[in-house]
Amino acid sequence: MLKQLLVTSLKEVLGKEFSQETLNRLIEIPKHETLGDLAFPCFELAKHYRKAPHVIAQEIACKLDHSKYERVEAVGGYVNVFLKKKTIAWETIKKVLLEKEAYGSKVHTEKKTMTIDLSSPNIAKPFSMGHLRSTVIGNSIALIAEKQGYDVVRINHLGDWGTQFGKLIVAYKKWGKKENVIKNPIKELFNLYVKFHMEAEEDASLNDHGREAFKQLESGNEDALFLWKWFRDESLKEFMKIYNQLGIRFDSYHGEAFYNDKMDAVVTMLEERGLLVESDGAQVVELENLPPCLITKRDGTTLYATRDLAAAIYRQQTYQFNKSVYVVGNEQSLHFKQLFAVLEKMGFEWRKGMAHVPFGMILKDGKKMSTRKGKVVLLEDVIKEAIQLALKNIEAKNPTLIDKEETAKQVGIGAIIFHDLKNYRLNDIEFSLADMLRFEGETGPYVQYTHARTSTLLKKGKFQIRDNQQLSFLDKEAWPIIKLLQNFPQVINQAMEEYDPSKIAKYLLDVSKAFNHYYATVKILNEEEGNRLAIVYSVKVVLKEGLRLLGIASPEEM
């Protein structure tokens, strides 16, 4: 952002000859502050103009709009620029004081809608660490998009249909107990699922029964439907507990099953466009440079991809989205490539607004965690442990805190969410409970703690925003904070463009570090005019808003 100031000035001097991008690329940040805050090397221009670099530097330094800078100097082949730090600081602070939590927001004149497919766990199975990733990454992207002026529709595309439900119905009828399902639905249904797979290894006919049961389900058999609905309701109740704890809500729980009565229309559309080809009794769409996309199986039952086609069309019709994103693990990249390619072949222009936002796996000892074998870490237990640990910390550090339980919840959950979001989403993460529950170093609680510190300072200093507020001086140590504060809108833009919440997480760590350094070197409360508290206030606003964009609460005290 500060670079942009110099780019604009240089453009005034150089005219059309050099693009903004080129100038932006050339500008350097000098190693030593005696050489200015920004430096513009003139060697590339020298070649272009066939002049000596130091001559060009002189000329530019002369012509640059000096009123915008503290000082401009030509040194060798460089133009060194010293910024008006106090002015920039005041401009920045003034903006934050005025806009408060709206700082960094964008408003669009026309309505823009984004649908986001996130979380989407599978019914009757434990909520996996992978689904946790989709949930927290997706929720943050949704919040960032709202900040950028989008109407966001959060869709939980539940995995509530497919052959596995046939298997589950068979398993329940053979070995299941109603009381157990009611008492502990996910655990019991998952046990049945695991047992089915074990038994099927001995007795392959079970698989046929499973397929048969699913066919009955697809053709609307009441008995099968009743069981299915019951499994779905019980599972969803369990998932809701997790969502409530994480503070996440959805606008739609239309899962795969919702599209059952919308599949024929899709098949017809594909037929009409002459895209369906028979292959081994199945119907497929052939694609360039990709394996064909399977639409119906030999026995006529439909597939995951078909349901996603129906869902995409339904979402466009229902919400008229400008953007439609899918936050799903990168092991499904091929599926989404195929999905988008089929929509492309169908001639849907709106397909251009769709994107798969993939993320890496959670590994255990370098290997993918598998739910199949029944050896899973339950998210519920992780959350419980995080909250308990947070409570223990609070008891030790701040035993008189009023809202201990609630704060512990915010801190424990903050730790879990931040632990995920601080990593670039495509990186695999090695699962470590100890790491997730760490409260020191580059963690969510560290940022929350810094925020709480700003609150305390503002209270102690009885800070109030005044109309006649001015910045009468600027501590040298405050400059790194100012630079970060004025960059907040830019960071949000980048996070949106790249669907990358880690940009914000890393930024919050930088702000926290810069602020804590300031706090350690400057006596903040020892000053009359409230200059320093205005900076503290701005830091508080940005930390709180940044944490909110990650889906994390900011307690006032902890």
> Which positions lie near ligand ARG, rule CB under 6 A?
117, 120, 122, 157, 159, 308, 311, 326, 328
- Of the pair 157, 503, the CB lying nearest ligand ARG is at 157
Looking at the Cβ atoms of 157 and 544, the one nearer to ligand ARG is 157
Residue number with CB closer to ligand ARG (159 or 551) = 159
HEC string of 98-119 equals: HHHHHCCCCCCCCCCEEEEECC
CA–CA distance, 69 with 79 (Å, rounded to integer): 12
Cβ closest to ligand ARG, residue 159 vs residue 546: 159
Three-state DSSP at 487 gives: helix
3-state secondary structure of 14: helix
529: Cα separation from own chain's centroid = 39
Of the pair 157, 409, the CB lying nearest ligand ARG is at 157
Residue whose CB is less far from ligand ARG, 120 or 423: 120
Q: How far is the CB of 226 from ligand ARG (least distance, A)?
A: 23
Q: Name the residue with tokens 């808003």.
A: 545
**Between 36 and 159, CB nearer to ligand ARG:** 159
Q: How crowded is the C-beta side of 457, counted as CA atoms within 13 Å?
A: 28
Measured from the CB of residue 328, what is the shortest distance to ligand ARG in angstroms? 4
- Which of 213, 134, 129 is closest to 171 using CA atoms? 213
The per-residue DSSP string of 385-450 comes to: HHHHHHHHHHHHH-TT-TTHHHHHHHHHHHHHHHHHHTS-TTS-EE--HHHHT--SSSSHHHHHHH
In whole angstroms, give the CA distance from residue 553 to residue 390.
Answer: 14
Q: Are 86 and 111 in contact (CB under 8 A)?
A: no
Q: Which two tokens stand for residue 103?
A: 């700082």
Minimum distance from CB of 424 to ligand ARG (Å)? Answer: 21
3-state secondary structure 286-352: EECCEEEEEEECCCCCECHHHHHHHHHHHHHHHHCCCEEEEECCHHHHHHHHHHHHHHHHCCCHHHH
Q: Select the residue whose beta carbon is closest to ligand ARG and give its number.
A: 159
Compute the distance between CA of residue 442 and CA of residue 212 in angstroms, rounded to an integer: 52
> Nearest distance from residue 217's CB to ligand ARG, in Å?
17
Q: Please state the closest distance from residue 308 (CB atom) to ligand ARG, in A.
A: 5
Using alpha carbons, select from 483, 399, 411 the residue that is nearest to residue 452.
Answer: 411
Do residues 471 and 534 touch, judged by C-beta distance below 8 A?
yes
Closer to ligand ARG at the Cβ: 22 or 252? 252
Residue with smaller CB distance to ligand ARG, 311 or 411: 311
